[in-house]
Chain A
Amino acid sequence: MFWKIEVFDQPGIFDAVGAGVEKDILDLGIDSVKKVSFIQVYHIEGAISRCELEKICAELLADRISQDYRIADEKKQSSPKGGFIVEVAYNPGVMDPVEDSTLKAIRDLGIGGVTSVKTAKRYLLKGDLDESQLKTISEKLLCNKLIQHVVKLPACRTGRQVTRHKSQELGYKFSLVIVDLLEASDKRLLEISSQGQLFLNVIEMGRIKDYFVRLGRNPADCELETIAQTWSEHCGHKTFRGKIEYKEIIGSQVHKVITHKRIPAPPMASGTRAQGKTLKIDNLLKSTIMKVTKELNKPWCVSVFKDNSGVIEFDEKHNVCFKVETHNHPSALEPFGGANTGIGGVIRDPMGTGLGAKPFLNTDVFCFAPPDYPFAKLPKGTLHPKRIAKGVVSGVRDYGNKMGIPTVNGAVLFHEGFVGNPLVYCGTAGIMPKDKSFKLTSAGELIVVVGGRTGRDGIHGATFSSGELTHESETVSSGAVQIGDPIQEKKMLDTLLQARDLGLYTAITDCGAGGLSSAVGEMAQELGCRVDLEKVPLKYKGLSYTEIWISESQERMTISVKKEKLTRLLKIFKAENVEATVIGEFTDTKRLQLFYHNHLVCDLDMKFLHEGLPKTEKKAVYTQPEHREPAIPFKKDLTAPLKKLLGRYDICSKEWVVRQYDHEVQGGTMLKPMVGVVNDGPSDAAIVKPVLDSRKAVIVSNGINFRYGFIDPYWMAASCIDEALRQIIAVGGSLEKVALLDNFCWGNPDKPDRLGSLVRASYGCYDIAKAFGVPFISGKDSLYNEYAVHGKSQAIPGTILISAISVMEDAGKAVSMYAKNPGDLIYIVGATAEELGGSHYYGLFGSIGNQVPRVDPKRALPVFRALSRLSQAGLIRAMHDCSEGGLAVAAAEMAFSGGLGMDLFLSEVPYEPRQKARNDFVLFSESNSRFIVEIDGSARKEFEKSLKGIAHGLIGCVSGGSGFKILGLDKEICVQTDINDLKESWQAPLRW
């Protein structure tokens, strides 16, 4: 039998879900919906009596205090007066996240006959709507057709819909698919690549053909897919590891020297760049990012660029690891699912590092188009940025919170350039015992897959991320979108850590992009393996051997287990309802051999698979842009611009996002993302104590500012490193033990201009990180971030995210950013230059400018070190780094977060004007390596003594009231307002 049950709120109970949808409909620009009511729908299938059904409804599905239920009757089904019904259900084959647990609960009730539970969401919309408005609400808001569909009503005839759910259960009949490569022309090779979504170029396809010519046979589809996955940009980092011919063009001339001395001269030369017209780079990663690490050779770097995340030493007993990943393309198509599985995926990186680390913090950084972007301007096939933003935030919230990992730090930025392709960076840090930090598989060990089952979801994710988005992406690549199941991952984590501590496995890695093909392929790289694909547990029947092998179904990890430990291992998983299955064995054949019911479906040489990828050869040209210098009228009163800056989407309060994340689970979060006298000010970096009975802590921070990249990606990278580091200093940390992650999101690297700016940014990373003495330990690149606008491909703004992790000896030495006491002195430390290029102040006038903030490590290092010593000595009451919006924004944030006023005077700011000194430039310049510091008056002597030789100025004091006043260079008032007004300007824009 088949039943449909509707669960809804009792009269008088506030329908919070419905109210949320009402708000979202207003965001769509539709104001005629008066009320939305939400109804949860369950489809229950099975041989149960009416009485049993009533019991399920009354005791389980409906909350008897606040809800009622109705067992649906088709005859009574009609649209409410003056209203509409929209019912949204999951597509066949998409996992219903509620099914398993609900079935379990029904069994707990003692009812055994239920075979299937599916859910749907129904919305009753009251108000006047025309057909197209209803369609907009259904398609743009309530339903994402990649995973859901709108149910045609009335269609709930008892016993009828069963076939729909069953359709996916069709069996699969084995037949080996052979691809004819041997006879294929170059044209045909490219066709095979594009039809199979392999995203391989003709040289790569040719190399594969040569391999099979040597073997004297054609490949099976599965072999081709395996190679494509392993060689994808996503897994192989072809661009960064390939060859690049790079040149720079300044003005109209080809620049003949690559050193940056000529392009507005950087303060240092890396000394590594040869003279000549073009620079030939063999492996950009090794020439820049990894080179820093190698040259610095820090003894506390435990494992870098090898494992699933970078590992550094934490204390005598533990190491910590950190990784940031992106999930941009999936989030563009299905924001909730994309971000959900993005955070789910990066959590598995620490879990798959060494023998498995316990994740203890998450970070997230997003770039969206502005939330007020006009609907009419949206490129075809793209979702509105506000919808994307809300979906992404919900996706991260859902997964992070349910995993019980605090999301402690992040950033949200906005620019029109992200309209078709948002950026979703998710990061996770983990902690593990020192003796569990390395893995070693040997031949004869069993391959065990743990966690979720394998389905058709996420097929071609790795190769999909290696291509550009088009308006057809959502139809062509719908398989690339997955749905996460955080509880599955949590169960897996709980049990894996038990097995790890008992020493029951020797290696672990996660099934991320490329699924089993890359997980097993990687683990067996030095050995060889044999896998019996039919042993992989499936969500439903019908998957081909190739689909099983490359599916990117979430929540799966692969481990290597010695035969004698298998029984004990399996017992641990079974005890907590986690599936673990032996699917094969590591061998010493140096071959990847896959079988499906004893049919050999893949037999590849490991060496060819992992080393056969031909080095790509790409051209890169960096052309220095020339922007118009804005002529900004001189204004005496700068209060209004300050308020406008505080209200810029990038600068304003992200409390709406932050509050939705559990940032305190696990009990270790010390310096929280929102701080202040009423906990609503913007904290610089987060401090987390991963070991509860120790005061030792980890600091994490993020530096990102794509606007500087519009002027010069070199200085963008430099500024991002400076920002990440100065946030660590601002919260009381030091540069003693800081490690960085790089994360490049760029356009198509096959286009020389895109690659040119990428190369230039990489050199920025090398020079500045090296000069600061901070190594990179891991990183990620997401290239091909382009989307079609009216048939023309558009790249996102090339964006680098620098994430920093640092070990702090004593969390008790932390410093927060909000003003503490009336009468305290306010200093600025670090010099202010006239660097407004890419600033938000120029942004107010629609300009970019050319004077981008630079970084001079020789001047910055003494600043960082001195402030670090001072906070260790307990002399600093509050400290905030100057970043977007400059010193005025930083000081305002400190004041209103502390609920205290400030009196400041600009004449004491160490400032180097290029031409005529201007108040607005001093206030809003975004020069790097600067801090606003609050100290007690009694500490003045010692404080100033410590800053000898360092640019600093006593620029004012904390006042008792709520006034915020700044005297300009001419000693006349240039800003005068109330902290509550400033706070309102800062809080209003994203108060969703």
Chain B
Amino acid sequence: MRPKVCILRTAGTNCDKETAFAFQQAGAQPELVHVNKLISREKTLSDYQIFVLPGGFSYGDDIAAGKILANELRCKLNRSLKEFIAAGKLIIGICNGFQVLVKSGFLPGNDALEQEASLIINDCGSFRDEWVYLKSQVKCVWAKDLPAEIYLPIAHGEGKFVVRDNQVLARLKKNNQIVFKYRNNPNGSLEDIAGICDLTGRILGLMPHPERHIDILQHPRWEKTAGKKIGHGFLIIKNGVDYARNNLRR
């Protein structure tokens, strides 16, 4: 059974197609769904097993990156999202999607959906596209059995992870919610944090783009990868799809 994946689109989403391609390669059945269709109930979130917030500049990143879409999710789709999460289903937010999840309070996550962390302007002050090495840390559904270090590209202007206070950080650590850390911090993130999950490990948000390292030809030094075919990003996507296939009913 191919798990159904809802890839959210709105004005300014721009990584939707390659993200859909990645999920398709990993054995899922992705569908690009405009946010208007979820709000108008033409489409229903509960029909899907995985909800993806892909990269891009939702609403131009006006006010702040991901802010307007985060606000829209909180105000318009709060209930269906909570039900989706309560049903044990999976969510992944990549880059702009991570910014949305954090600013809407779904990550790190608490009952009141209160925002406890943020992603703000890179210390360098500008957008940056580069490949980064990531240490993966815990037993998040999406990060299962990853190599100790993975290689993915980042491409963002507002990826510096910050938290409200030390308690939030302490809780993230204690609950093993820090999923990815940069080997070389590219943006000034607190404790080199590149990605976090919720308490259940089923909601993941990360700044790097797994969908940009599916095929080994996407690796910047593909000639030196000694016959490998699959990129590290594929492993993350595949983890989600496999989990959904094995644990969630269509």
Interface, chain A (partner B; CB < 8 A)? 13-14, 16-17, 19-20, 59-61, 63-66, 97-98, 101-102, 104-105, 108-110, 397, 401-404, 485-487, 490-491, 494, 575-577, 658-670, 672, 675, 677, 679, 689, 692-693, 695, 811-812, 816, 820, 877
Q: Can you list 21 pairs linking A and B with CB atoms under 8 Å apart?
A: A13-B120, A16-B125, A60-B63, A63-B67, A65-B120, A102-B62, A105-B72, A108-B71, A108-B76, A397-B127, A401-B155, A486-B60, A494-B9, A575-B37, A660-B126, A665-B15, A668-B18, A669-B218, A672-B220, A679-B220, A692-B21
Contact flag A667-B218 (CB < 8 Å), given A66-B120, A692-B21: yes
The answer to whether A659 and B59 have CB atoms under 8 Å apart is no
The answer to whether B56 and A404 have CB atoms under 8 Å apart is yes
Which of B151-194 touch A at CB < 8 Å? 153, 155, 162-164, 188
The answer to whether B118 and A63 have CB atoms under 8 Å apart is yes
A577–B218 alpha-carbon span in the complex (Å): 34
The answer to whether B130 and A659 have CB atoms under 8 Å apart is yes
Pick the contact of B36 from A108, A404, A577, A877 — CB < 8 Å?
A: A577
Please give me the residue from chain B that is nearest to A405 by CB atom.
Answer: B14
Q: Using Cβ atoms and an 8 Å threshold, which residues of chain A touch B144?
A: none
The answer to whether B116 and A65 have CB atoms under 8 Å apart is yes
B57 sits at the interface (CB 8 A): yes
The answer to whether B163 and A65 have CB atoms under 8 Å apart is yes
Pick the contact of B217 from A65, A485, A660, A812 — CB < 8 Å?
A: A812
The answer to whether B55 and A66 have CB atoms under 8 Å apart is no
Pick the contact of B127 from A401, A666, A812, A816 — CB < 8 Å?
A: A401
Q: Using Cβ atoms and an 8 Å threshold, which residues of chain B touch A485?
A: 60
B145 sits at the interface (CB 8 A): no
The answer to whether A105 and B67 have CB atoms under 8 Å apart is yes
The answer to whether A577 and B11 have CB atoms under 8 Å apart is yes
Chain B contact residues, majority secondary structure = mixed
* B215-235 interface bits toward A, Cβ cutoff 8 Å, 1 = contact, 0 = none: 001101111100000000000
The answer to whether A576 and B11 have CB atoms under 8 Å apart is yes
Q: Using Cβ atoms and an 8 Å threshold, which residues of chain B touch A812?
A: 217
A672–B222 alpha-carbon span in the complex (Å): 11
Pick the contact of A491 from B11, B17, B218 — CB < 8 Å?
A: B11
A61–B63 alpha-carbon span in the complex (Å): 6
Interface centre among A401, A486, A689 (most CB of B within 10 A): A401
Q: Using Cβ atoms and an 8 Å threshold, which residues of chain A touch B223?
A: 816, 820, 877
Pick the contact of A662 from B68, B115, B127 — CB < 8 Å?
A: B127
A693–B18 alpha-carbon span in the complex (Å): 10
Please give me the residue from chain B that is nearest to A40 by CB atom.
Answer: B63
A693–B76 alpha-carbon span in the complex (Å): 36
A877–B125 alpha-carbon span in the complex (Å): 37
The answer to whether B57 and A16 have CB atoms under 8 Å apart is no
Q: How far is the CB of A826 from chain B (nearest CB, A)?
A: 17
Q: How far is the CB of B55 from chain A (nearest CB, A)?
A: 7
Count residues of B near A (Cβ-Cβ below 8 Å). Answer: 62
The answer to whether B60 and A487 have CB atoms under 8 Å apart is yes
A689–B222 alpha-carbon span in the complex (Å): 15
Q: Using Cβ atoms and an 8 Å threshold, which residues of chain A touch B212?
A: 664-665, 667
Please give me the residue from chain A that is nearest to B34 by CB atom.
Answer: A576
B129 sits at the interface (CB 8 A): yes
Q: Using Cβ atoms and an 8 Å threshold, which residues of chain B touch A679?
A: 130-131, 220-221
Q: Using Cβ atoms and an 8 Å threshold, which residues of chain A touch B59?
A: 101, 104-105, 487
> Besides A59-B71, A664-B155, A664-B212, 19 other CB < 8 A contacts?
A16-B125, A17-B121, A63-B103, A64-B118, A66-B118, A98-B63, A101-B68, A105-B72, A404-B56, A490-B11, A576-B11, A576-B34, A577-B36, A662-B155, A665-B15, A665-B18, A665-B55, A679-B130, A695-B217
Contact flag A14-B130 (CB < 8 Å), given A60-B67, A63-B64: no
The answer to whether A20 and B116 have CB atoms under 8 Å apart is no
Q: Using Cβ atoms and an 8 Å threshold, which residues of chain B touch A490?
A: 11-12, 14
A912–B118 alpha-carbon span in the complex (Å): 63
The answer to whether A98 and B115 have CB atoms under 8 Å apart is no
The answer to whether B128 and A660 have CB atoms under 8 Å apart is yes
Please give me the residue from chain B that is nearest to A106 by CB atom.
Answer: B71
B198 sits at the interface (CB 8 A): no
Pairs of residues from A and B, 6 with the lowest C-beta to C-beta distance, nearest first: A404-B14, A667-B18, A65-B118, A20-B125, A487-B60, A16-B125
The answer to whether A401 and B67 have CB atoms under 8 Å apart is no
B209 sits at the interface (CB 8 A): yes
Q: How far is the CB of B29 from chain A (nearest CB, A)?
A: 16
B148 sits at the interface (CB 8 A): no
Contact flag A108-B63 (CB < 8 Å), given A16-B122, A577-B11, A675-B220: no
A243–B155 alpha-carbon span in the complex (Å): 50
Contact flag A692-B18 (CB < 8 Å), given A16-B125, A17-B121: yes
The answer to whether A665 and B126 have CB atoms under 8 Å apart is no
Q: How far is the CB of A935 from chain B (nearest CB, A)?
A: 13
Interface centre among B13, B118, B121, B164 (most CB of A within 10 A): B121
Q: Using Cβ atoms and an 8 Å threshold, which residues of chain A touch B1?
A: none
Q: Using Cβ atoms and an 8 Å threshold, which residues of chain A touch B211?
A: 667
Q: Using Cβ atoms and an 8 Å threshold, which residues of chain B touch A20?
A: 125-126
The answer to whether A693 and B103 have CB atoms under 8 Å apart is no
B124 sits at the interface (CB 8 A): yes
Contact flag A487-B75 (CB < 8 Å), given A576-B34, A672-B220, A816-B223: no
Q: Using Cβ atoms and an 8 Å threshold, which residues of chain B touch A670?
A: 217-218, 222
A301–B144 alpha-carbon span in the complex (Å): 49
Contact flag A661-B21 (CB < 8 Å), given A97-B60, A487-B59, A811-B217: no
B244 sits at the interface (CB 8 A): no
Q: How far is the CB of B223 from chain A (nearest CB, A)?
A: 7
Which of B87-111 touch A at CB < 8 Å? 103
Q: How far is the CB of B18 from chain A (nearest CB, A)?
A: 3
The answer to whether A65 and B162 have CB atoms under 8 Å apart is yes
A490–B57 alpha-carbon span in the complex (Å): 10
The answer to whether A667 and B34 have CB atoms under 8 Å apart is no
Please give me the residue from chain B that is nearest to A655 by CB atom.
Answer: B130
Q: Using Cβ atoms and an 8 Å threshold, which residues of chain A touch B55?
A: 665
